[in-house]
Structure 1
């Protein structure tokens, strides 16, 4: 019964916040007839789900993931965090493996750290990744083909998906527009969403690389639940609450500060 009451209260709080856009904890406490500590615990749960955003003394409606700037502009954003994530992800790749590298600025940082790997096979649907790896003689490069999504320099659609269905990788390293505990991995573009679903199925292990700005947000199209990935590599600025909740789902979360212990 307590669980049902809590679930109903969470839904009610979410509805109120969406209507008001911003409301104080004291107001919610008075309106729902429960203590402020209870409201704060509820808001913590809703924030981890990506439903609301807590602020000092109150709460506002969750930030929805909007259309990102083109990939060439995003390359300068959180550059150091992406580089550290890229180095850590590359350290997990073994000589002789077959990996899939998806599109994005963080996956490009992974590609930049593969120069010392031997007998590696890389499958990619990302033009920027393919361009960077094209002259690396230690890497066998497989490009999926497909319809180019210009803003992302990615290849999507039926051709890319059919190619991926005929291939298998040891690891798939992907990025995602938005990640939340409740809605999982979500994306803006519906066609890219379908391609991403096929990507996730082509590898024995799926590794998500995502800096702190990707979490607690929800985009329009659901790609997969968070548990579709086995590992998440993020930076040290991702909140401890989010990291703990992801680990509670059975997902291994790695951060650059842990690299020295690996």
Structure 2
């Protein structure tokens, strides 16, 4: 196969699937990993795709911090379906942590507790949404307020968490990279998320399909530190397959 023909096939595969691994490209095109990596480097330089760890994507893998009101207008239906599914995991007399992010707000809007529920949260909007329920006890973490996310970060919030243990953490992320792990755009938020992970029984990541193959500035944790990812039906089969190969439970919200 000529290199130009191979390059076009790579572009077609990546744009069709959204993401493809080097190993799968090798199998499909019957060439070595060295050849595929050289091809991807050339195609990225030409602006045809983006290289990621272990593969290629048709979207920029690097994320930037954006205001919460801007994020709230993106992938709204997907976030609603993810939040609705995540809310079904809440049980009677549950105690949960809800981190920051617009998908966390979508979750809060779907919570209709029939019995007592304890919620610890760093997100101001989540607390504001849940305060209308008489049977929800809310512990709002304190600290430095991040205006871009309407949430708190810092040592005060981290220290409070040391005195509690909860059943679940609902965690939002800016990026999910199969090699680098879960990331966010702010280092202080990443540190608070790590503290949250250390005091819960189960970590449930809520992320729409656009978060896969992305990488933010600060690492939260590796994929081995989480229990489940809830995403939407826009996720590509290739990414679902890769999650399953890594032993990650992935739930697709309808």
TM-score range, shorter chain: 0.7 to 0.9
Deviation, 1:21, is 2.6
Correspondence 1:1-262 to 2 at 5 A? 10=33, 14=37, 17-18=40-41, 21-22=44-45, 49=53, 51-53=55-57, 63-257=60-254
What do the CA deviations read for 1:129-153 (whole angstroms, capped 9, x no partner)?
Answer: 0111123111011111111111001
For the 8 Å contact 2:92–2:115, the answer to whether it is kept is yes
| Cα distance change of structure 1 residues 17 and 159 upon mapping to structure 2, 3 Å threshold | same
For the 8 Å contact 1:50–1:218, the answer to whether it is kept is no
Compare 110-119 and 147-156 and name the one that shifted more. Answer: 110-119
| Cα distance change of structure 1 residues 239 and 125 upon mapping to structure 2, 3 Å threshold | same
What do the CA deviations read for 1:156-208 (whole angstroms, capped 9, x no partner)?
Answer: 11001111122111000010010011111012211111111111111100000
| Cα distance change of structure 1 residues 245 and 133 upon mapping to structure 2, 3 Å threshold | same
2:15 corresponds to which residue? none
| Residues matched between the structures, number | 224
Query: For the aligned residues, what is the CA RMSD?
Result: 2.6
- Unaligned residue ranges in structure 2 (runs of 5+): 1-22, 27-31
Per the alignment, in what secondary structure is the counterpart of residue 115 of structure 1? coil
- Unaligned residue ranges in structure 1 (runs of 5+): 26-42, 55-61, 258-262
For the 8 Å contact 1:173–1:209, the answer to whether it is kept is yes
Runs of 4+ aligned residues of structure 1 deviating over 3 Å after TM superposition are 9-20, 22-25
What do the CA deviations read for 1:187-233 (whole angstroms, capped 9, x no partner)?
Answer: 22111111111111111000000001100111222211112110100
